[in-house]
Amino acid sequence: VSDASGCSMIVLLHTGAAKFPQSFLPRARQAVRSLLPPAVLKGYGSIVSRKLASHGFGASMAAMSSFPPQRYHYFLVLDFEATCDKPQIHPQEIIEFPILKLNGRTMEIESTFHMYVQPVVHPQLTPFCTELTGIIQGMVDGQPSLQQVLERVDEWMAKEGLLDPSVKSIFVTCGDWDLKVMLPGQCQYLGLPVADYFKQWINLKKAYSFAMGSWPKNGLLDMNKGLNLQHIGRPHSGIDDCKNIANIMKTLAHRGFIFKQTSKPF
């Protein structure tokens, strides 16, 4: 660097990009960021990106500059809705089963699994449940049982390549309830096995607290507020909650957060 602005390093990065091995570029980019004043860095950022694109690095370099490498190829965002009342009914049964397949490199949604589930122990939804979740009786009547939905989840996982041993994926939930309490509890009640892929997950509340230094007492609402994000859809809609989780994850990834498993092995 020949002057205080770091311009010579920028020129070096521009002219030498074609000769650099791609594995060296993230380190070179980080070195530039550490040396340049913020105002200079802001001005040159788009120039560097355009120059790298002209040398054939294109969209992959754009993705690398936006997100640090994650530990997983895919994040599977899940948020159940279940039968409920005040006082609580037992056993609770899953009535909405949504999953979003989030690409770990781009943090974009690539595929969606979404089904409603027919409850069998308490087949009639309570007014409290409908008011809370927005799920009305006609949305669950005649729908597949939990056993049938789990079979379709497995088919979807296979179709999406998520059962390939070389593909690293993990579920993400807002809290531990979905996969620590709700699914294993209902499966035990019905005598159904729990697939191994449901036995490890990331609790987004814990991930958020690691990244932001505060616990989101009110879950998604607090996380959206803390990150200045608009809440998507209605609270306690399973599919809308999944979209909010995905949006929060993408925002944290933009800030450099690396997601790690938070559940303990079964």
pLDDT, position 68 = 79
Q: Report the chain's C-alpha Rg in angstroms.
A: 23
Contact (CB, 8 A) for 215 and 204: no
pLDDT, position 53 = 39
Half-sphere exposure of 106 (CA within 13 A, CB side): 9
- pLDDT per position as a tens digit, 98-145: 999 999 999 999 999 999 999 999 999 999 999 999 999 999 999 999
Of residues 151, 159, 162, 150, the one with CA closest to residue 102: 162
**% the chain with pLDDT above 90:** 73
pLDDT band with cut points at 50, 70 and 90 for residue 202: very high
Backbone φ and ψ of 250, nearest 5°: -60, -40
Which of the residues are catalytic? 81, 236
Contact (CB, 8 A) for 144 and 134: no
Q: Which domains does the chain have, with CATH numbers?
A: 74-255 (3.30.420.10)
Question: In this model, does residue 207 exceed pLDDT 60?
Answer: yes
Contact (CB, 8 A) for 265 and 200: yes
- pLDDT per position as a tens digit, 14-73: 333 333 344 444 454 555 455 444 443 444 444 434 443 343 334 444 444 567 799 999
Question: Three-state SS for 101?
Answer: strand
What is the residue whose two structure tokens read 């595929």? 111
Copy the structure tokens of residue 229: 């994000």
> Which of 6 and 181 is assigned the larger pLDDT?
181
Copy the structure tokens of residue 140: 């669950």
Backbone φ and ψ of 31, nearest 5°: -60, -40
Q: To 10 degrees, the CA torsion angle through 184, 178, 261, 29?
A: 150
pLDDT, position 30 = 54
- pLDDT per position as a tens digit, 141-168: 999 999 999 999 999 999 999 999 999 9
* Position 2, amino acid: S
Question: In this model, does residue 248 exceed pLDDT 60?
Answer: yes
pTM: predicted TM-score of the whole model, two decimal places? 0.76
pLDDT band with cut points at 50, 70 and 90 for residue 266: low
* Cα–Cα separations (whole angstroms), residue 11 to 37, 47, 118, 126, 228: 16, 10, 63, 67, 36
Copy the structure tokens of residue 9: 């390093």
